[in-house]
Structure formats: C-alpha cells, structure tokens
Amino acid sequence: MFISKTGRTMGLVGAAVVAVVLLAQGVNAQQRGTFTDSRDGKTYRTVKIGNLTWMAENLNHQIGESWCYDDDNSNCAKYGRLYTWDAAMKACPAGWRLPVNQDWNALVQVAGGDNAGTQLKSKDGWNDGGNGTDVHGFSALPSGNRYTGGSFHSVGYLGDWWTATEYGSDDAYYRYMGTGYTDVNEDTDGKSYGFSVRCVRND
C-alpha cells in the first residue's frame, strides 16, 4: 500500500508508476546541464546519456575550415558550423573531444537501436514529418552538409556528424539522421566534406 500526497491509498501498480515517474524526473534533472566555452563565451546545453556527457547542440566555434550553411551566420546560430574532418578534430574545447565510432555505438544502443534516430532527433525543425521525440534531450537537427566543391545541401532534411574514427588516410566515419529514417546510420566520406560536430566528455 502507498499513501499519496493527497492522503489516498494506492495499490502496488499505482505506487510503482509513481516511483518510476519520480525516479525518471530525478535522473533527468541530474543528466542535463550547460557548458560555456571559454574561447568564445558560447553556452551549450549538455546531456548525459549512458556513461558519456554529450553537447546537446552542434558545435558553433569558428576554426580553420568551417562554415555556416549557405555562408549565412543565422544558420550557424541555429545549426552550428560545418567542419572538415581535420578542423573537427581540433574544434572541441578543452576537456571535450570528437566522439569515436564506439561512442556513437553506445549512444545508439541506449537510444533504442534501430529506433535511435527517432529518439535522438529534435521535436521540430525536420521537414516532411521527420521530427523525432527527443526523449533523451539530444535534440539532433537537420543541419545539412557542405560538399568539397563548396556547395551546400540538405538542410532541413539531413544531419551529418563526424566521428574521430578514420577510414584510411583520406576518409573518416560519420553518422547521419534524416527525414524518413528512424535509425542512426553509419557511413564514410572524404575528410574535406563539411559535417556537423557534437563534442563528448567522459565523466
């Protein structure tokens, strides 16, 4: 038997539901936070998922070969910057790093495996009904990409994120989510492409 705040008694099922809700609220409060980058004063939301703390926004620190989508500063404010792989490897602030493939694998496992894209995508901003549930607070946005030749593509429909894991001397692994996909896909591409960056921290 469980006594609620109203003084009413509840059965075991009701008590279990209340306990789960209260536990979830407590964990949720502990997992989410903010981080201010001392290099430029920008503040990012953070979220702990599994054993790692992730930035819950794409990095927006100007370094080397990095761009705003369509060279429009308002897109950097919304989506973060697009980085070549070499720039991405240097872009995260002290104490943070570009995630390796294994970090993304762990994230996908916690976030539902084949349904991880749905759980990690933001609740709005994706075109053609591609929004997610964002139950983990990761808030992935469709930031698009930049081709080697300088053209920009797929904002609103696709998000690509570099990993620190190389695939030969010229290519590296990245992860992507898109409108019409429920999962988080893995692929490789040339290091000169412009993709988004999510920094990660071991806690």
Residues 6+ apart with CB under 8 A from 141: 58, 78, 79, 121, 122, 125, 126, 159
Report the pLDDT value the prediction gives residue 189, as an integer from 0 to 100.
98
> Residue 8, CB half-sphere, CA atoms under 13 Å: how many?
5
For residue 30, the model assigns a pLDDT of 57
Burial 85-110 (b: 16+ CB within 10 A, else e): bebbbebbbeebebbebebbeebbeb
Mean pLDDT (the chain) is: 89
Contact 193, 146 (CB under 8 A): yes
Tell me if 88 sits within 8 A of 28, measured CB to CB. no
> In whole angstroms, what is the distance from residue 135 CA to residue 137 CA?
6
Res. 25 pLDDT band, cuts 50 70 90:
very low
Bridge partner residues of 21 (DSSP) = none
pTM: 0.86
Q: pLDDT tens-digit profile of 42-93? A: 999 999 999 999 999 999 999 999 999 999 999 999 999 999 999 999 999 9
- Count CB atoms within 10 A of the CB of residue 173: 18
Round to whole Å and give the CA distance between 66 and 84: 7
pLDDT digit string, tens, across residues 120-148: 999 999 999 999 999 999 999 999 999 99
| Average pLDDT rounded to a whole number, residues 153-170 | 98
Q: Is 7 left (phi over 0), alpha (psi -120 to 50) or beta?
A: left
